[in-house]
Amino acid sequence: MSVVRVRFAPSPTGLLHVGGARTALFNYLFARACGGTYILRIEDTDKERSTEESVKDLLKSLEWLGLLWDEGPGKGGDLGPYFQTERFDLYNEHIDKLLEAGSAYPCFCTPEDLERERADALKNGQTPKYSGRCRDLSKQDIQKKIDSGITPSIRFKIPLDGEIVFEDLIHGETRFDSSLMGDFVIKRSNGYPTYNFTCVVDDALMKITHVLRGDDHLSNTPKQIMLYQALGFELPLFGHLSMILGEDGSRLSKRHGATSVEEFREKGYLPAALTNFLSLLGWSPPDRETSENPELLTMEEIISFFSLDRVSKTAAILNREKLDWMNGVYLRALSDEEIIELVPELKRSPFFKDDADMIHRYISATRDYYHFLGDVIARIDDFSLWVINKELLTPFKTSAHILLAENFLTLTAEKDSLSINDAGGLFKELSKRTELKGKDLYHPIRYMLSGKEEGPELIHFLTVLPLKEIRSRIQNSLEFLRES
């Protein structure tokens, strides 16, 4: 087979689901691992549900994940167009070929006719399928119906008996009895071709060598193979990826939380963390005993390890606890500059007053608490919102603690800022002058600076807040402690 060419072909009918994103990712990984071509095709023939907004979301989500395509919208390519609604002439041309060869025929059955057939089959305990009532209409009968104003659909004529056998790249040998299928529609009466037909024509003309998609498409494959054969196209290799399930083992849905890429982005996940996590849903890297966290992989590492023989047949479970952990690891590993770029609210916050050094001190103090991007700014209020907490400070209305606050102000009077080393020396000297130790020394200063019993550690207040603000809070607290 020629150079590897794979495609991701979503329908723009909503936000990009993580299942679709995983399919896009596996196609991307396979193409990159093989030195092949990764193609994006938009299957927008569902005119009732396809929207331009959904197309924009698909492109934005794929770009955010870093799954940049080699051919497709915005990129071009020699085998486009890459929107199905721009390829109708190609579809009609190949439908005409099937009609001329007797491999397809016009069907005049109404939806009511088809529903009656379905109901009768179910009533008789049979698998519903099209009866073939229009399969052998004469040319005269066909013309008569057309002349009467009835617009037919077009059905593909499948063999009445036989078996479709193919070697699935993931599931192995797979068999289907063609006699159970019934002739299927390849062009609706409204002029729109159907999925099973368009994807065959597109994949063949775009020279797709490997069709990697979710196993919910497995039942479509025998129909598509018959179309390939009827049109004289070379068959690609097929591989069907397992479903992604929620942690309760049921199909992933809204009740399990975020299910679209956009939702995960809005919740503060990083694209590198999400792609790393998705790569492990149905695929496993080789053992790496020397790695502390063998599942934490860069995109380059995933590509170097990726192969279809390590893709699992069994359904994958979306473990959100694992994803959250992974996202936290990725986020905490970012540089200050990367965090500031990802969280522009830091520069816009009036608390920092665009003080770059203060922002860096804040990130250093709070980094260990980051799990999602929202956590980066979540602790600003702990530092910026302050009032004297009289309830907390009342037990410290003692001469020793008044002396503590006075000496704090004295010892910091000549300083411009406090470093961690400065803070260590400061408290050593305060303990010496006041004879206070442990919580009697640290707690009252913490309450004076934070106004809260819980929150960031004392050292964080000392290193994040400007010394002018620190002294102001201590001074105000001291005045309260002196009150009788």
Predicted confidence at residue 41, as pLDDT, reads: 98
Q: What is the pLDDT of residues 215-231, one digit of tens each?
A: 999 999 999 999 999 99
Q: What is d(CA 472, CA 479) in angstroms, rounded to the nearest whole number?
A: 11
Catalytic residue among 254, 353, 428, 468: 254
The CATH code belonging to domain 1-73+242-333 is 3.40.50.620
**How many angstroms separate the Cα of 359 from the Cα of each of 4, 75, 332, 466, 472?**
48, 39, 15, 11, 20
The average confidence (pLDDT) of the chain is 94
User: Would you say residue 257 has pLDDT above 70?
Assistant: no
pLDDT at 419 exceeding the cut of 80: yes
347 is catalytic: no
Q: How far is CA 325 from CA 265, 305, 319, 333, in A?
A: 16, 23, 10, 13
Give strand ranges (E) for 59-138. Answer: 104-107
User: At CA 467, angle to CA 466 and CA 471, rounded to 5?
Assistant: 125
* Res 255: pLDDT: 65
Q: Tell me whether domains 1-73+242-333 and 386-482 share a fold.
A: no
Res 1 pLDDT > 60: no
Domain boundaries, the chain: 1-73+242-333, 334-373, 386-482
Q: Please give the average per-residue pLDDT across 420-424, as a whole number.
A: 88
210-219, 245-254, 343-352: the lowest-pLDDT one: 245-254
Please tell me the CATH code under which domain 386-482 is placed. Answer: 1.10.10.350
pLDDT score of 473: 97
- Record the pTM: 0.92
